Structure 1
Amino acid sequence: MDTKDLILKKTFSLLLLKGFDATSITDIQHTTGLSRGLLYHYFKNKEDLFIQVTEKYFVQIFDFELRKVKDLTLKEFTEFICNRFDKINKTIADIVNETEIVKEASMLNYHFLFYQVMQRDTIFRNNYRITTEKERTGWEYALTNSISKKEIRDNIDVKISANELFTITDGIWFQIIFSYEGQNMIQNLEKSLSHYIELLK
């Protein structure tokens, strides 16, 4: 891992533990073992560092290339979505396991930090909105592809169904803060999406 990635990862772990306002450059120095001057070699200031952390661990971790899913059926896109959330869970768990954060609180910390970022960063809000629109569009592609393959009825409203599938996914993802169990969340997500898709046949 190069120095910049180390700084981003360690800063993210601090933000999970303490939140934005309580995390200082001194905290980041202690956690990374790097001098203030070296931190400022990679980042203009604390705000720049925090922006890059949220880009890496919120925007990039959720984002995907729409063109890669445009030919998927409902079953295939469901698998893609479940794998995507599983990867997110594992990435966060790996970072949390390297910190003093209580393991059971890891996803709760992540969601709390997510809302802090949403509140303070308009660029992040816009980027996240774009990502959610991609997900809805991905569901629309999958529904259309499954209709053309006669896997589901052809009289459904694609836009409404895509929005409902997105809402199921989003709802189960945020419900994880009450269960703490990432693997169970993935299983529940797959079951719920599969159940809805069965209703479309």
Structure 2
Amino acid sequence: MNDSREHILKTAFILFLQKSFKEVTLKEIVEKSGLSKGAFYHYFPSKEKLFHEIVESFYFKILKIDFGSFNKNSFYDFYHDVLNHTVMKFLGIKEFLDDSYDEDDITYFTLMLDAVKLFPGFQAQIKEVHVHELAGWEQAIQSALDRGEIKSRMTARQIAQLFIYSSDGITPHLVMAGRIRAVHSEIKALWDALYDDLKA
């Protein structure tokens, strides 16, 4: 990515997290970036286009997961791969933004809600991501059931929903408490317990 373009994205992302999309002015972004107005407009013709780029470049980078790249021979390894991959991606964004303060990480979620309201197409993209996510988990679980690694009276889909929705519940709960660094260990402990219960 071009250095100036990346600098603008980083500057705007930090401001949006601090204040919200609506409250940040284009003038403020230009001033904080230290670039001329002309240089700014060379990359982004509007605040909306800039915000759109931030959501596409950072949020969807976390949400879009290539489940085919994870271990297919062990469900235990599969869910550990998914967890490590997702947490590292989010922490990578915090590192890119030089964000070491965890108490206000809920703003990462509220900013995404702003994006969904502003860009209706994002809701459809998120739904697509969720369908893909469920399918990825379901496939890995069905393989584990077929080879006898795990057993359950639940369907592969129901087990997949247990893993996904438990993570979806724990993450915002810990983020609101300013404990993003505990997400990995908390989810891992719960998923390991679920796996032990399913283990054949």
- Aligned residue for 2:132? 134
Distance 1:69 1:194, change over 3 A: same
- Aligned residue for 1:94? 95
- Aligned residue for 1:144? 142
Residue of structure 2 aligned with 1:103, choices 97, 101, 104: 101
Q: Is the 8 A contact 2:71 2:81 kept in 1?
A: no
- Aligned residue for 1:189? 187
- How many angstroms apart in 1 are the aligned matches of 2:91 and 2:116? 22
In structure 1, stretches of 5+ residues that fail to align are: none
- Aligned residue for 2:68? 67
Deviation at 1:188, TM superposition (A): 0.4
Deviation at 1:52, TM superposition (A): 0.5
- Aligned residue for 1:27? 28
2:103 alignment partner, SS class: helix
Q: Which runs of 4+ in 1 moved over 4 A?
A: none
CA RMSD across the alignment: 2.1
Identity of aligned residues (%): 22
- Aligned residue for 1:15? 16
Deviation at 1:34, TM superposition (A): 0.8
Q: Which moved more, 1:116-125 or 1:157-166?
A: 116-125
Distance 1:140 1:67, change over 3 A: same
User: Structure 1 counterpart of 2:41, which letter?
Assistant: Y
- Aligned residue for 2:42? 41
User: Structure 1 counterpart of 2:53, which letter?
Assistant: Q
The TM-score normalised by the length of structure 2 is 0.89
In structure 2, stretches of 5+ residues that fail to align are: none
- How many angstroms apart in 2 are the aligned matches of 1:72 and 1:22? 49
- How many angstroms apart in 2 are the aligned matches of 1:156 and 1:109? 36
Q: How many residues align?
A: 198
- How many angstroms apart in 2 are the aligned matches of 1:77 and 1:153? 16
- How many angstroms apart in 2 are the aligned matches of 1:143 and 1:90? 27
Distance 1:180 1:88, change over 3 A: farther
Deviation at 1:167, TM superposition (A): 0.5
- Aligned residue for 1:76? 77
Residue of structure 1 aligned with 2:119, choices 109, 112, 121: 121
User: Structure 1 counterpart of 2:87, which letter?
Assistant: D
2:173 alignment partner, SS class: helix
Q: Which moved more, 1:125-134 or 1:84-93?
A: 84-93
Q: Which moved more, 1:141-150 or 1:70-79?
A: 70-79
User: Structure 2 counterpart of 1:18, which letter?
Assistant: K
- How many angstroms apart in 1 are the aligned matches of 2:114 and 2:90? 19
1:151 alignment partner, SS class: coil
